[in-house]
Each structure stands twice: as C-alpha cells, then as structure tokens.
C-alpha cells in the first residue's frame, strides 16, 4: 500500500524503505552504526586486501615460515608464534583475494554450465543427499579396504 505522506508501507503500517546503509537493517534506525561499519570495512581492507604482488608472495611466505619452524627445529623458539601469526594472516589474504577476485565467480559459472551440477549447487536438499551418498560410498570403500587388508594379513584386528 502507498501512503503519500510516508512512502511505501506494508500492511502493518511499517516503513518499507530500503536501509540507507549496509549496517542498518530490519527497520531499525541505527544512525550511529554507519560510521562504525565504514571504519571497520576500511580497517579490514587495510589489513587483508593487498596488492597482487603481495598476494603472489603469500604462499612462498607461508612455506618459508613453516619450514623454518618445523624443519629447522624451532618449535620452542618464541619467534615461532610470530611465524604462526604471519602465516595465518597470509592465508587470510589469500582467501580474501580468491573471494574478491573472479575465481569464485568463474568456478560458480563453470558449475552452472552443467544442468545437473547446477541443480546440486543451488538446491540445499539435493546437495545434502548427494553429500550423504558420497560420504556413505567413501565409508563403504574404507570398510571394504580394511576387510581386504585384514584377510590379506590374517589379522583378527582388521576383521569386523
């Protein structure tokens, strides 16, 4: 229903205008949340949205730091905690770069080229059934492998 004084209204008389900012929602007027949301987004972008050369160096950085910690025996070194923190940051930068980039959209487009796979991706119930069937198939293969290995080695521990 349309009220000329107030704009678009629903049947209960509530205003149906879209929120002015992404942080506002569900009819609540949170004017003070907009600057906070903007500053949080700017802080997130400053920490996790990096230029392409930094993103390209992230896997090498993670590999080098983890090699330093584990292969050179520096698990007890206090700097290993800094290496863990930098590795987590680099992994987060990679995830943000993949999500913000065209990789996710490209994979989504490829999945929807096939009609059956597109239906599985879009339908939650179908995705649940397909996932359960795949999981059951993996469990059956694992049990059959254990049964065969138990029969091969004559081990009573491997028999069901």
67 versus 40: the higher-pLDDT residue is 67
Asked if the model's pLDDT at residue 133 lies above 90, the reply is yes
Q: Is the pTM of this model over 0.85?
A: no
Q: Can you give the pLDDT at residue 26? A: 53
Task: Look over the chain and give the mean of its residue pLDDT values, rounded to a whole number.
Answer: 77
Q: Is 71 helix (H, G, I), strand (E, B) or coil?
A: helix
75 versus 128: the higher-pLDDT residue is 128
Q: What is the Cα–Cα distance from 28 to 26, expressed in whole angstroms?
A: 6
For the stretch 66-118, pLDDT in tens is: 888 888 888 888 888 888 888 888 888 888 887 777 767 777 888 888 888 88
Asked if the model's pLDDT at residue 32 lies above 80, the reply is no
Contact 37, 23 (CB under 8 A): yes
12 versus 61: the higher-pLDDT residue is 61
127 versus 55: the higher-pLDDT residue is 127
pLDDT class for 159, splitting at 50, 70, 90?
low
pLDDT class for 1, splitting at 50, 70, 90?
very low
The ranges assigned to domains in the chain are 48-101
- Non-local (6+) Cβ contacts of 104 within 8 A are 98
Pair of tokens at residue 109: 């487009």
Asked if the model's pLDDT at residue 138 lies above 60, the reply is yes
């Amino acid at each position: 229903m349309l009220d000329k004084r107030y704009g678009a209204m629903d049947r209960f008389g509530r205003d149906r205008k879209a929120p002015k900012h992404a942080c506002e929602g569900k009819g609540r007027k949170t004017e003070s949340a907009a600057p906070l949301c903007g500053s949080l987004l700017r802080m997130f972008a400053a920490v996790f949205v990096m230029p392409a050369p930094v993103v390209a160096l992230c896997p090498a950085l993670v590999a080098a730091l983890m090699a330093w910690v584990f292969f050179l025996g520096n698990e007890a070194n206090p700097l290993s905690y800094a290496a863990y923190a930098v590795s987590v940051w680099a992994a987060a930068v990679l995830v943000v770069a993949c999500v913000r980039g065209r990789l996710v959209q490209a994979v989504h487009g490829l999945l929807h080229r096939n009609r059956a796979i597109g239906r599985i991706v879009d339908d939650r119930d179908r995705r649940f059934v397909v996932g359960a069937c795949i999981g059951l198939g993996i469990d059956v293969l694992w049990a059959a492998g254990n049964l065969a290995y138990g029969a091969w080695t004559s081990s009573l521990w491997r028999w069901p």
